[in-house]
Chain A
Amino acid sequence: MGLNKLPALLRREVLEHKNLWRVPLVLIGIAVLVKLSLSIGNLSINFDLPEQLQLDDDIDSAVDLVVAKALNSMNHMIMLVMFVVAIFYALSCLFTERQDESVLFWRSLPISDGLTVASKLVIALIAIPIIIVACQAIVAVIFFGVDAGTYLSNYYGSSLSVLGKILLWSMLPVIAWCVFCSEVASKNPFLFAFITPIILILVDKLFLNGVVSQTFVINRLYGVPQYDGSTLLWGVLFSAVCVVLTVIKRGQRI
């Protein structure tokens, strides 16, 4: 199946789509700026506490908790931003190579279309989550230094399962859909990817009872009510169809 060629394909993606590493660097850069501002700039977490409270341990831990909360939202932000990066990446990955016609060159090498499409999915669904987790760890180290371990074990304890759920139930079908749009859209994959579900919702709400679009589109974006096997299965099934059609379409392009 030529899996030994996968590293070269992944390397190509990282070289071509610079946002995959630029955006995380910017996010880390922002964290560094905030940290610098805390130590030498305008930001401060030194609350003006009345003297009698300053030695109170409870207050200290409350302050720590506030810092941790602030960091949590920063880490959620990292996740959100990287998901947006993943979606835009998926939408452009197969489109740009058709735009600049380099697809003719890529396809003249002995690499199967399946492996090429797989490399895009690996980037969006495996590499990006790893980048998210790594960024969060780096940001925690920036703020807490050696004490980052305690914060991270707490944070990951609750966030990793959320990340996993979002990935499997929501990101998988969304990315598969975007990759599919990237391959089939003739002019604008972004428009294609967004308009189609909007039309589905519109028709559904206007003429049907709205259940279809609620289940297939809205829940996937805003969180499914129950993370159960059958919703997962439908998502996987939908993704598989998207991926198979993408591979077939790439093979038939002139």
Chain B
Amino acid sequence: MSFVSVSKLQKKYGSKTVLHNVDLEIGPGEIVGLIGPNGAGKSTLLKCIMGLIRYSGSLSVFGHNPFSNRTAMLEKMSYIADVASLPNWMKVSDLLKFVADTHPKFDMARARELLVDTPITESHRVETLSKGMKTRLHLAIILAINTDLLILDEPTLGLDVLVRRDFQDRLVQDYYNQQRSILITTHQIDEVESILTRVVFIKEGRITMDFKIADLKTRYAKLVTDQNIVFSDPTLKPIYQRNLPEKTELIFVDVDPAKLAEYGEIQTPSLEDLFVATNSLTVEA
């Protein structure tokens, strides 16, 4: 069963098409990173899934239409659209009580447990907390909601590395399991790289790559060589080439590594390599 099912999704703002026929399926047990440069359409795609904007095409989240059947959908899926969105005037205790009273899946004991190790106390007002602590509080609230899918839009934007690392560890330790999934967007891959199980690259409103981290080693290869090569074999076609002073880096997809071995050293490309490869302005496969 898939949690999110997107097919032929289109979104236009006026005459500008932001999403072109996007297809995406998310099932249980995945941590999916939706990665693209600024303006690639990742936030728009997320807003469609969260039921915040209208769209054309087909989209269902736990079998619900996110726009017209939002309230029902939100009992199965939780999201953080913006970590700076907690109401500043509210006391932490009132905030927890409000969520407890309005969300049937919220577990108050769990939320308190998640806040125990933090400097946040229930008598604090949200506005007195630092940005990092607000994020921590928001995450604690969301993690205490027992839903199967968590969607995060640039959750660690503007936070220091300690908070960021802590945030990711919480996600993996306190939320993720084989029945649950996380969809997370970012334009900085290195922020989330270590926790992802699957990567979706999006560029100019189109999904350009969609693969499991486990397949990274088997499907993609990076050839590092100091020769200036001309490939005689037409199946050896790099999707990206980077000329450095002492060497050349070439990225290949679905190529037999044995064929490449004679030209130089073969490495597993990093996500950043692939990201640059798909978004590169100069070389196109």
Contacts and interface: CB of A to CB of B under 8 A. Distances in A.
Interface stretch (A1-9, A61-69, A74-82, A152-160): A1-9
Interface stretch (B95-103, B235-243, B277-285): B95-103
Given A16-B87, A100-B87, A254-B47, A110 B53 contact: no
B150 to A, nearest CB: 11
Contact of B102 (A97, A100, A103, A110): A110
Task: Name the residue among A16, A97, A109 with the largest chain B CB count within 10 angstroms.
Answer: A109
Contacts of A101: 82, 84-85
Interface stretch (B33-41, B71-79, B198-206): B71-79
A104 B85 contact: yes
A102 interface: yes
B12 interface: no
A108 B74 contact: yes
B260 interface: no
A104 B88 contact: no
Nearest to B74: A110
A73 interface: no
B74 A109 contact: yes
A9 to B, nearest CB: 8
Contacts of B210: none
B54 interface: yes
B54 A102 contact: no
B90 A15 contact: yes
A12 interface: yes
A110 B52 contact: no
Contacts of B82: 101, 104-105
B102 A107 contact: no
B98 A254 contact: no
Contacts of A110: 70-72, 74-75, 102-104
A103 B87 CA distance: 8
A179 to B, nearest CB: 19
Contacts of B81: 104-105, 108
A49 to B, nearest CB: 55
A250 B89 CA distance: 21
Contact of B89 (A16, A108, A111, A253): A16
B80 interface: yes
Interface string A118-161: 00000000000000000000000000000000000000000000
A111 B80 contact: no
B19 to A, nearest CB: 14
Task: Name the residue among B72, B79, B101 with the largest chain A CB count within 10 angstroms.
Answer: B101
A182 B103 CA distance: 26
B98 A11 contact: yes
A105 B99 CA distance: 10
A112 interface: yes
B114 interface: no
Interface in B38-83: 47, 50, 52-54, 67, 70-72, 74-75, 78-82
Contacts of A104: 81-82, 85
A106 to B, nearest CB: 8
Interface string B174-189: 0000000000000000
B9 interface: no
Task: Name the residue among B54, B70, B79, B102 with the largest chain A CB count within 10 angstroms.
Answer: B102
Task: Name the residue among B54, B86, B87 with the largest chain A CB count within 10 angstroms.
Answer: B87
Give the top 10 A-B pairs by smallest Cβ distance, nearest first.
A8-B101, A110-B74, A104-B85, A102-B87, A105-B85, A104-B81, A112-B71, A5-B102, A110-B75, A110-B71
Given A101-B82, A102-B88, 16 more contacts: A2-B71, A8-B98, A11-B101, A15-B89, A16-B90, A100-B87, A100-B88, A101-B84, A105-B87, A108-B80, A108-B81, A110-B72, A110-B75, A112-B71, A251-B67, A252-B53
20 contacts: A7-B101, A11-B98, A11-B101, A12-B98, A16-B87, A16-B89, A16-B90, A100-B87, A101-B85, A102-B88, A103-B85, A104-B82, A105-B87, A106-B87, A107-B52, A109-B99, A110-B71, A112-B70, A251-B67, A254-B52
Interface of A: 2, 5, 7-9, 11-12, 15-16, 97, 100-112, 251-254
